[in-house]
Amino acid sequence: MAATDPSKQRWIPWMQRALQLAGLAAGRTSPNPLVGAVVLAADGQLVGEGFHARAGEPHAEVGALAQAGDAARGGTIVVTLEPCCHHGRTPPCAEAVIAAGITRVVVALSDPDPRVAGGGLQRLRDAGLEVITGVLEEEAAHQNRAFVHRVQTGRPWGVLKWAMSLDGRTALPNGASQWISGSAARSWVHRLRAGCDAVIVGGGTLRADNPLLTSRGQRQPEPLRVVLSRSLDLPEQAQLWDQSEASTLVAHQASSDWAGRERLRAAWAQAGVAVQSFERCDPLALLPLLAARGCNRVLWECGPSLAAAALQQGCVQELAVVIAPKLMGGELARTPLGDLGLTAMDQVVPLALDSAQSLGDDLLLQARLRCDSID
Amino acid sequence: MAATDPSKQRWIPWMQRALQLAGLAAGRTSPNPLVGAVVLAADGQLVGEGFHARAGEPHAEVGALAQAGDAARGGTIVVTLEPCCHHGRTPPCAEAVIAAGITRVVVALSDPDPRVAGGGLQRLRDAGLEVITGVLEEEAAHQNRAFVHRVQTGRPWGVLKWAMSLDGRTALPNGASQWISGSAARSWVHRLRAGCDAVIVGGGTLRADNPLLTSRGQRQPEPLRVVLSRSLDLPEQAQLWDQSEASTLVAHQASSDWAGRERLRAAWAQAGVAVQSFERCDPLALLPLLAARGCNRVLWECGPSLAAAALQQGCVQELAVVIAPKLMGGELARTPLGDLGLTAMDQVVPLALDSAQSLGDDLLLQARLRCDSID
C-alpha cells in the first residue's frame, strides 16, 4: 500500500530495501523481531545496510551505522522497526543513532514491545532528530506479525498446516495416509518448519506417523518438537525421543496416569526429553510456556481434534493447506478438522485467502483467520 | 503445443482462429461437436469464417464457404474437425468443400464419429485435394472432449461439481449448508450449467435443498434436470416439478414402491415431468439414455453417495471444485465424496489439476481424472 503523503513517498524504495534485508533472517531471530536498516549520507547516497541476524547479535541499526561510519553524519537512517531505547542484550539503538550524527529517522512500524512502545521515537525527537513514521507500515506489520502477536498476547503466532486430497481427506477410512502430497510439498513443509520456533503434534499423530518433525537441517537449532498428550499413551520407541538432531518437549495433564509408563519416563530421562505437566493440558495452556521459551511462531501439524481445539482456543492465526490432486473418499475417512461446535452457516470461521501456488503437482493455499476468536 | 512439422506450423494461427470460432457455440451444439472453419483465397487472404451454431443449423464449413463465394476457388479451408461425408440433417461437408473449388484442407482432429472416422478426409484426397491433418490436434480434442467421449463410449462426458470449505466440508454437522460459496461462485455455476446438456441430482439433494438447477436463462432451452431416486421418496412440492422454465426427468428403480405416491405421480403427470424406470437405477444405467437424448456433457451436482457411485462407475471425467475461504469443522459434517472403497494410498484416484482461479472470495479448481476407471 503506497503512502500517499509525499513526505513519505520518497522513502518507500529505501524502506522496501530495509524490509528485504530484514527478511533475510526470517524465522531465525526469535524471540526478537525481524529488523532491517539502510543508512543514507547527507547527500542521499546509500552508505550502510544491516539486518538483525539472530537474538544476541547486533541490531540492524548498529550494523548499518558501523558500515556507514562517518558518512552517517548528517544523514538518514531508514529502519523497519522503531529503534529500541532499552538495554537488552545489546545497548539501545536510539542512542547509537544519535551518537552517529544521524539527523533523520524513517520508521515503518512502532515497536509493540511495551519496553519500547514509542519511547525510542520520543528519545530521537527529544534529541532533535526529524522522525518520519508509518512508511510501508502495513508491510512491516505483516513481516513481523508473529513477533507483534507474541508481544501483544503473550502467545506465539500459530500456523495450522495440513495436507488433504481434493475431496478434503487426510486419510483413507482405514487410516492410511502416506503420502497424500508429493515430494515438492513435503520439502516445502521442511522450509515452513525452518521458519517456526516449535512444531506441535498430538499423541495420535505420534502413534500413527512416528514423525521426525525437523526442517531437515534448514534451521539450526531445529525447531522445538512438542507433543501434547493428555493421556501419556505414547510409544516407547519414537523418532521424537532421539534428541541428537532436535529437542522434544512432552506436555501432559498433571493428572495423567504414570502407572505402566516407567519405561517411557526412564527413556525420556536418559535421552533428555523435557516433560512438563499442566493442570489442563490444552493448546492455550501450552502457549505461554512456548512464548517464555522465545517462540514467536509455532506450527500445528496435528490431527483433527487437536487442530479444532487449537482453533477454538484462538491459538491459530494462519493456515497452510496443501491440496493434492487426488480423490480419496470415505464416509468415515479422516478430515482436517474435528468439531468446532458450529450450528449455523453464519458462525463459520471466515478466512482471507492470501495466496495459491503450485508445489509440484500439489497446490498450496495460505490463508489468515479474519477474526481472533471463533465463538 | 506447437506442431514442429514446418508444413503444419504456418497453419497454426488460422487454426487458432477456427478454434476460437468453434468455441463461440460452446455448450449449445449437442449432440453435435463444436466446429469452426476459415477459408483462405488462393493468395492466402482470409475470405470466409464460420462455425456450427447448433444442431440442425449449417455446419461450419458451409457457412465459411458461403461467405467466401467464388474467392474459395483454388483456396484453403482450415477446419477444426474432419469434414463429414454422410448425410445427416445437412448434406455432407466434404462434397461442399470439393464443389467450392477448394484445393487444400487443413484439419485439426479426425472425426471420432464412426459414420465419418476418416471417410471425410479420404473423400477429399480421392477428389485430388491436398489434406493436412493434426494441426493443433490436442487443443481441438480438448475443445470437443465431451463430444468425442460421447461418440466413443455412448455416454456423455461427466463433470462433478461441489462447493466446500477449506477444511473439505459441504455442510455443518446439523446439515446446514446455505451458502458455502459466495455470489460470484454461484453465478459461475449458472454459467457451468449453461455449458451442460443435463444436470443430475439425487433424492437427498432434492429433499435438502429444493434446488432450481437452471442456468438462470443463460441457455435456451435450459439443461434437462434429472433426479436419480431409487426409492421415489421425493417431496410433492419441489421447484423441479415446475416445467415452465426447464424440463425434468425422474429416474427410479423399476421395483420402487409406488404405494402412497399416487399424488406425486399425479402431480408429475399434470406438470409433464418425465419418469423413467430402470432395472438398476444407478449412474451408469442413466447415461446411455441421456446420450440418446443428445447430451454430450452432463453435470453431477449431487451429494456424497451419488457422487461416489458416479465416480466408481466411470461416469465422471472432470471436476469443478469451489473452495470457500471458511472453516466449518465437525466429526460428522458432510464431505464431498462417500466411500470409494479404497484401502491403500496407491489406489487413490489421481487427478490432473487444470486451473485455479478466483471467483470473488472463493477459489475454483478444475481438474480431470487421469484414468478412465478407478477400480
CA distance A84 to A92: 5
- Comparing CB atoms, the residue among A331, A337, A363 nearest residue B353 is A363
Q: Are residues B179 and B267 in the same domain?
A: yes
Burial B58-85 (b: 16+ CB within 10 A, else e): bbbbbbbbebbeebbeebbbbbbbbbbb
- Domain ends where: A150, A170, A202? A150
> What is the maximal distance between C-alpha atoms in chain A?
74
Whether A375 is covered by a domain: the verdict is no
Domain that holds residue A271: 154-369
DSSP B54: S
Å between B323 CA and nearest CA of chain A: 10
Q: Are residues B179 and B289 in the same domain?
A: yes
For position B344, which CATH number holds? 3.40.430.10
Whether A66 is covered by a domain: the verdict is yes
Whether B375 is covered by a domain: the verdict is no
Residues in a beta bridge with B349: A327
- Domain ends where: A106, A126, A150? A150
Whether B189 is covered by a domain: the verdict is yes
The residue among A372, A370, A366 whose CA lies nearest residue A191 is A366
Whether A244 is covered by a domain: the verdict is yes
Whether B374 is covered by a domain: the verdict is no
Q: Are residues A84 and A131 in the same domain?
A: yes
Question: What is the radius of gyration, based on Cα positions, of chain B?
Answer: 23
Which residue on chain B is closest to A328 by alpha carbon?
B348
Q: Are residues A220 and A347 in the same domain?
A: yes
Q: Are residues B136 and B175 in the same domain?
A: no
Whether A251 is covered by a domain: the verdict is yes
CB contact under 8 A, B349 and A326: yes
CB contact under 8 A, A176 and B338: no
**pTM, to two decimals:** 0.91
Q: Are residues A107 and A165 in the same domain?
A: no
The residue among B164, B145, B188 whose CA lies nearest residue B352 is B145
Q: Are residues A32 and A134 in the same domain?
A: yes
For position B67, which CATH number holds? 3.40.140.10
CB contact under 8 A, B328 and A319: no
Interface test with A, best of B160, B167, B371, B374 (most A CBs within 10 A): B167
CB contact under 8 A, A335 and B311: no
Which residue on chain A is closest to B354 by alpha carbon?
A325
Q: Are residues B177 and B267 in the same domain?
A: yes
- Domain ends where: A150, A166, A181? A150
CA distance B10 to B18: 14
DSSP B139: H
Q: Are residues B166 and B181 in the same domain?
A: yes
Q: Are residues A128 and A175 in the same domain?
A: no
Whether A359 is covered by a domain: the verdict is yes
One pLDDT digit (tens) per residue for chain B, 375 residues: 444 678 889 999 999 999 999 999 998 999 999 999 999 999 999 999 999 999 989 899 999 999 999 999 999 999 999 998 877 777 789 999 999 999 999 999 998 877 767 889 999 999 999 999 999 999 999 999 999 999 999 999 999 999 999 999 999 989 899 899 999 999 999 999 999 999 999 999 999 999 999 999 999 999 999 999 988 899 999 999 999 999 999 999 988 878 878 889 999 999 999 999 999 999 999 999 999 999 999 999 999 999 999 999 999 999 999 999 999 999 888 889 999 999 999 999 999 999 999 999 999 999 999 976 555
Residue A249 predicted with pLDDT over 80: yes
Å between B157 CA and nearest CA of chain A: 18
The per-residue pLDDT for range A109-130, each reduced to its tens digit, is 998 877 767 889 999 999 999 9
Q: Are residues A159 and A125 in the same domain?
A: no
Q: Could you tell me which residues come within 8 angstroms of residue A284 by beta carbon, excluding any fewer than 6 positions away?
A: A155, A313, A314, A315
Q: Could you tell me which residues come within 8 angstroms of residue A94 by beta carbon, excluding any fewer than 6 positions away?
A: A83, A84, A85, A120, A123, A124
The residue among B58, B80, B126, B70 whose CA lies nearest residue B102 is B70
Structurally, chain A folds into a number of domains equal to 2
Active site residue B331: no
Q: Are residues A110 and A223 in the same domain?
A: no
